[in-house]
Structure 1
Amino acid sequence: MSQTTLPETHRILQLTSTSEPLQLKIVPTPQAGPGSAVVKVLVAGILSYSADIYNGKRQYPFPKPFVPGSSAIGRIVAVGPDATTLAPGQLVFLDCTIRGRDNSEAVILSGISEGFTEASKKLMHGEWRDSTYAEYTKFPLENCIPLNEQRLLGPVDAGGLGYCVEDLMHISKLVVPYGGLNDIGLKPGETVIIAPATGPFGSAAVRVALAMGAGRVIAMGRNETMLHKLSTLDTRISTVRITGNEKTETDALKELGPIDVFFDISPFMAANSTHFKSAIAALRHSGRISLMGGVYADISFPYLSFMHRNLTMKGTWMFSREQMFGFVKLLESGLLPLGEKNGLSVGGKFGLEEWEEAFEKARIAGAEEVVAIVP
């Protein structure tokens, strides 16, 4: 095992019951073994609904007690004996999507959900129970994604992009739509509808589509203020309001066509939205549809029209490891800016002991802000 000196103990946030507050504790520091790395957590992301996860309102399944968390930015402190590339000192993105090595269908979200199969539960009830709301965390080697620190954090006059570590937490939002847009094969010059585009992942999808070379991005949504804000980012962005009138929406979309791709990332409450049918109706022959939303209900579509126009529909949940590396290349190229130059900001940084304030800030934060735990 390769490592620098690890302290004997470290601080964690622990959840023992959804009916009780998180507890700040001092426990033995995790040790690296085969297939794992121990990482010093520099900054860990917070979902806007984190409070409702850990108070049981959302009824997410997870073992108890455990250390909550999400994706994070950290520095490797120790690696197991089978590490071939990762080494102490490296800056990494900790991808919270952990998959079974012998079963890729067994998936957990570290610090969030143990999944719904016996195989996925085994992952979170065993080696990968504890997540990133801690000073140190043990993560699978394959979930430690190396970042070019000199390029991302280095000064602009030395060839760097000049970001701060907290800026890098936007990766956790931006990489999700990259998975769907990559799966559906978005090509440079194509026109893509992003709907709804006014939430955290929808607005991220707008930026990712631009970075991937989209010729036009049509942002759909109900929030006119947010749509206007998005339209100021790039001359390639057009906006169409979701009005509840399918024909009005379809006509407005077709005026901006021909449209190659419809990317949907609707929340669960959008099951009855008209934008599904209007966006599909506006697609050109052989258009493609990417589904990445969280809608629980069945959605109908015009069967004959779908068939006659040779449309393709592809569902994507999160992203693959290969897509994660492709996204990092895009980020490090500078084609996908972070920070204020792309309308992205850091809404707040909080210590472990400030977790309640942090969750509340994340709840009210804007779609283009990140709020983080800084252990």
Structure 2
Amino acid sequence: MTAPPSLPETMRALVQEVRGSPLVLKSVPMPQPTPGAVVVRVLAALVDSKLPKILQSSEPILGFEYPLPFIPGTRAVGRVVALGPDATSLTVGQLVLLDPWVLGRDNPNNWILMGAMNGVTPGSKKLMKDNWSFAFFAEYAKTPLENTSILNEHRLCTELGYSIPELCQLAVDIVAYGGLRSIELQAGDRIIVTPATGAYNGSTVGVAVAMGASVIATGRTESALALLKKVHPGQVETVVRTGDVETDTAALKAFGPVDKMLEMGPGRAVGSTHAKSAIGALRPFGRAVIMGLGGGPMTHVEIPYMALVWNGIRIQGQVMYNLAWLKDLIKMAEAGVLKLGKERGFEVVGEFKLEELEQAWKIAAENDVFGKVVVLTPWKE
């Protein structure tokens, strides 16, 4: 199936052709709708402050490898412009959320992060190279049907008043939701989120609150912790970490029994005490999920071995999420249970055209903390 005649033959996109070289804004062929895929006009694509480090390195960092040529960008909101022949629920003109967690249809163990990483298996590397090496820093993108989620535009934008850039947050929230669902977070649970002051781990706090939990948020950035407590009054407590395991564990226990714990530290996390302190604060038979990048000093983490044994603590790893859960998360937002935008502490601090990428990188780096959002807007409606 070919694209409708109304679509152009080419589009503008930010392309990297040599590993470590700058992205170049150039004209590339228009993506075509094929079976299992949809073509979307990109309205807003999140600018991740950590992406430049990955793109500018001549060697993969923390496993972030990708084929060339490459168009980055991992999360976006767009509008459907063309459909493959097997699309049954999507229609042209619909507002959609684009997420990067692409799974092999014949083997879900072959996964990629579209726009960032070609996975960890030969099959995953083939999946990206042959199909999904062009992502969302472009005017248009071809995306898998499974990663193109319908948004109720009237409810979200008209009734609830969210802007298109604010809706991009849902593609961040689903990462946290995946971790929380994996440990079966229940309404009434008390959970530690550590750290909780970055773009991704900080988002976990609002998602956990929407699921009915009370949260203990930890970190070193006091202003971000204060914001989390302000936008979730009565539902969030905060602990500024000292780096001393016994002191931090006692502070976490001070709020009462802790049922669950989610760790999502960045690769640059200094030391491993935040994970050890949080695990040590869990009640008997508590559960912990580890989702951080785990590079550098976090490559090996000490755990209180006998405390795990005597207390029956369960620790598990989790990578990303079950795609079916994304529909549940979107329903929470459309119901008004999961807040977005300013009500949850988010501020869009920059909207930039494709040709303004360097300025977008700069603003994102200056606002690398929970609550600050920067987007590229190839098309602005």
Normalised by the length of structure 2, the TM-score is 0.93
Per the alignment, in what secondary structure is the counterpart of residue 34 of structure 1? coil
Q: Is 1:303 the counterpart of 2:301 in the alignment?
A: no
| CA displacement at 1:286 relative to structure 2 | 1.2
* Equivalent position of 1:9 in the other structure: 10
The question of whether the paired residues in 1 share the 8 Å contact of 2:21 and 2:55 is answered with: no
* Equivalent position of 1:86 in the other structure: 90
Which deviates more, 363-372 or 29-38? 363-372
The question of whether the paired residues in 1 share the 8 Å contact of 2:2 and 2:32 is answered with: no
Label 1:209 to 1:19 Cα distance change in 2 as closer, same or farther (>3 A).
closer
| CA displacement at 1:270 relative to structure 2 | 2.9
* Equivalent position of 1:345 in the other structure: 347
Aligned length: 369
| CA displacement at 1:57 relative to structure 2 | 5.9
The question of whether the paired residues in 2 share the 8 Å contact of 1:42 and 1:72 is answered with: yes
Q: Distance in 1 between matches of 2:117 and 2:237?
A: 36
The question of whether the paired residues in 1 share the 8 Å contact of 2:76 and 2:98 is answered with: yes
Structure 1, unaligned runs of 5 or more: 155-159
* Equivalent position of 2:215 in the other structure: 217
Q: Is 1:370 the counterpart of 2:373 in the alignment?
A: yes
| CA displacement at 1:225 relative to structure 2 | 2.3
* Equivalent position of 2:21 in the other structure: 20
* Equivalent position of 1:167 in the other structure: 166
Q: Is 1:226 the counterpart of 2:228 in the alignment?
A: no
Q: Is 1:143 the counterpart of 2:147 in the alignment?
A: yes
* Equivalent position of 1:157 in the other structure: none
* Equivalent position of 1:265 in the other structure: 264
| CA displacement at 1:304 relative to structure 2 | 2.5
Which deviates more, 204-213 or 13-22? 13-22
The question of whether the paired residues in 1 share the 8 Å contact of 2:102 and 2:113 is answered with: yes
Per the alignment, in what secondary structure is the counterpart of residue 232 of structure 1? helix
Structure 2, unaligned runs of 5 or more: none
Q: Considering only aligned residues, what root-mean-square deviation do their CA atoms show, in Å?
A: 1.6
The question of whether the paired residues in 1 share the 8 Å contact of 2:20 and 2:58 is answered with: no
Label 1:48 to 1:126 Cα distance change in 2 as closer, same or farther (>3 A).
same
| CA displacement at 1:324 relative to structure 2 | 1.1
Indicate the percent of aligned positions where both proteins have the same amino acid.
43
Alignment of 1:319-338 (within 5 A): 319-338=321-340
Q: Distance in 1 between matches of 2:116 and 2:279?
A: 33
Q: Distance in 2 between matches of 1:271 and 1:182?
A: 27
* Equivalent position of 2:315 in the other structure: 313
The question of whether the paired residues in 2 share the 8 Å contact of 1:169 and 1:370 is answered with: no
Q: Distance in 1 between matches of 2:100 and 2:225?
A: 30
Normalised by the length of structure 1, the TM-score is 0.94
- CA deviations on 1:275-328 (whole Å, 9 max, x unpaired) are 222222221111110111111312222222212212111211111101111111
* Matched AA of 2:77: I
- CA deviations on 1:160-191 (whole Å, 9 max, x unpaired) are 11111011111222211111011101111111
* Matched AA of 1:61: E
- CA deviations on 1:213-259 (whole Å, 9 max, x unpaired) are 01x21111122222222221221211112112212112222221111
* Equivalent position of 1:62 in the other structure: 66
| CA displacement at 1:93 relative to structure 2 | 0.6
| CA displacement at 1:138 relative to structure 2 | 0.8
The question of whether the paired residues in 2 share the 8 Å contact of 1:271 and 1:299 is answered with: no
